[in-house]
Amino acid sequence: MKTLVIAEKPDMGRTIAAVIEPRAKNNRSYLEGERYIVTWAIGHLLGLAEPDAYDPKYKRWNINDLPIIPEHFRIVPNPKTKDQLKTIGELAKRCDSIINACDAGREGQYIFALIQQQLKLRQPVKRLWISDLTAESISRGFANMKDASEYENLTLAARARSEADWLIGMNASRAFTTRHNALLSVGRVQTPVLALIHDREKEIAAFESQTFYEVLGFFKQGQTKYKGVWQGDRLTEQGKAADIATAVKGKTGSIAKYEMKPTKEYPFKLYDLTLLQREANARYGYSAKKTLDVAQALYERHKVISYPRTNSNYVTEQNIEGMHKVLHMLQSGPYAELAQNADSRLVHKQNKSVCNPARVEDHHAILPTLKRTGTLSKEEQNIYDLVVRRFLSHFYPPAEYKLHTVLTQVEQHIFKTGIKELVSLGWKVVLEAASDTEKKSGKRGKKDEEEETEEWTEGHFELDPVQPAYCVKSEVKEKATQPPKSYTEGTLLKAMESAGKQMEDEELREVMKDAGLGTPATRAATIERLKQVGYIEMKGKRVLVTEKGKTAIELIRHAGVELLASPEMTGQWERRLNQISKGEAAQEKFMENVKKFTFSVIEKVRKQTPAAADSFGTDGGSRTRKGRAGRSGNGKAGSSTGSDQSASASATLVAERTKFGNCPRPGCGGSIIEGRKGYGCTHFKQGCGFVIWKEYKGKTLSAAMLKSLLGKGQTQLLTFKRSDGSAVKARIVLEDAPTGKLGVRME
């Protein structure tokens, strides 16, 4: 009899077949050769059953029926791919052994395990574990297959993740939905990510910019000209700043301190998926999903990069020889000059910035393969170019600089200068054709240090510390403190990856060290899910929380289940799942704890005050009727699609919203609360038209500014930019109290 090979997707199956059975007959849904029959799964052919599969009463959502805790989880075929599942079952009957050739990772393991369970496959199974789809890797993978039993712990971790997500998503979504009579989406990854975005926007809205002044001194010593920044407490009075500038202008000073330190900058880390997504978002504006889709095509269809869904930035010792072969391949073609000037001796087993087996789990970093590119789309070429240049950079020496630090004293005033003098470009020649965005990516110093360090482009910087320096001129620069920036998809991915690492509790910080929100393979899907349910929206590159998203977080937090909105829970889950996959923790104990938490969530939501009937905004989501579930774009609310397995939802409680003050409209009696685009009156349904829009004359009105407008009729003194670029001081004033009309008064 023959051996059945089950790949995860058609392209993968066909590629494997071309190597192990080059003369195989193509039968549309499988390929058959002399020894092997190769077929595929088309992703998830099976999923966890909906609650009503356990009891018809669950078709009708009722908080009194919660929690739903299946004794044994049932799986059901995906109706769209049931024919392929049937094909696999029929082919298996003709084979006496099976090879699991699904993606080498937790989810690939789970896809195969569900097929094996549903079809009751009893044949012995071997595991093909490869990181790229080149003929060489496939051949080597088949020569080194292990028994499937060696991956059993990984399967247990995959099942635990899926079933735990089902318990939280199904129960929490139904609890919040039925309690507040509107669909509300809850999930153990989705909700903390939404909380990150919500809290950042809240921080931005509450930020009050402060004006301060910087004094710059422009110095000359011989042929060397440089500038310095006055050192001292922050200057908030323009007069004091002007006095300092006047005091030093035209005076001779001395070099109080001069240091020169040689430094080296090494290449940025090889790409994992998250880093590649961040880079592509910053440089090309690609969404996380777009980058993943393009990278997957480069891996699966074109076979020019290795497996992209990796969380590692390093390779193992076994990869070094292959990297040298790829370098040789690149020495002809579009990267010929860069590859020919590279030094292969720099990439070796002792180079820990490249080769670090301890930091490689399922897959090594993303690398170009030995396959030459054919015709690529623009997007595919862009992503491939990023991968190749990052790869090549490690075959070049570090960039070398001299860091000059100068303290110049004039009339008791100290000015600091930081100069970064280029000595050798090193690996940065690889980025010469790249955009400025890419050149500036990777590890950066602290912001203040960056601002004080000037890139020196005028050759050698030369200064004699014993000679005087003349202050040619001075100037006062008006500045303003800046609020935190809204997330882009790139910075959000970074926040998801590092979630929890800033916790003050040292033990929790250690727990989160190697975890984060989601995995490289699921983070893009989580962001897309938040868009689909209307919790976030894109404004250019900025990721903004909608009113619907704000109120979802408020309801969850007000219920007393803050852990649902915290990265702490999902971080601990990922850590425990990793331990299960290594045989260091028991799946049963993990599931027992998840069930206890599920009971706790239900009880707390049950005690929560229900939302008022008029408490949902215009995008507040489909209302539920008599406790019945609404529908979302992905099917049933609470369906098991995606990692969160949660319902499309939205809700907001006017009763619980912050009241910023009384409505200024005479005789109204209402209160001013925050809406999506402005601050309005709670008596809007009674006809009150008072509203103050959040955006006015280029300014975002914070809560503090609103309170000042309501109480004093004006804001604090603000800085406005004229059309010619000059600045002017003015206040925003409430010109018409009955309507909320604003104006600007110069001062």
Catalytic site positions: 307
What is the Rg, in whole angstroms, of the alpha carbon atoms belonging to the chain? 31
Closest of 395, 269, 389 to residue 325, by C-alpha:
395
Instruction: Using CB atoms within 10 Å of the CB of residue 261, give its burial: 0 to 12 exposed, 13 to 18 middle, 19+ buried.
Output: exposed
In one letter, which amino acid is 21?
E
Instruction: Report residue 254: phi and psi, to 5°.
Output: -130, 160
Distance CA 698, CA 20 (A): 64
> At 86, which amino acid appears?
K
Single out the residue of 186, 178, 52 nearest to residue 624, CA to CA.
Answer: 178
Q: Tell me the C-alpha distance between 109 and 205, whole Å.
A: 45
Contact 217, 225 (CB under 8 A): no
Cα distances (angstroms) measured from residue 435 to each of 282, 386, 401: 10, 11, 21
Q: How far apart are CA 545 and CA 190, in angstroms?
A: 13
Beta bridge mates, 228: 217
Element (H, E) at 255: strand 252-265
The residues, any chain, with a CB within 8 Å of residue 470's CB and separated by 6 or more, are 219, 220, 221, 251, 252, 253
In angstroms, the CA 450 to CA 455 distance is 10
**Phi, psi at 497, each rounded to 5°:** -65, -40
Among 20, 39, 17, residue whose Cα is nearest residue 88: 39
Q: CB neighbours (10 Å) of residue 467?
A: 10
CB 547 within 8 A of CB 675: yes
- Which of 304, 288, 335 lies closest to 536, judged by CA? 288
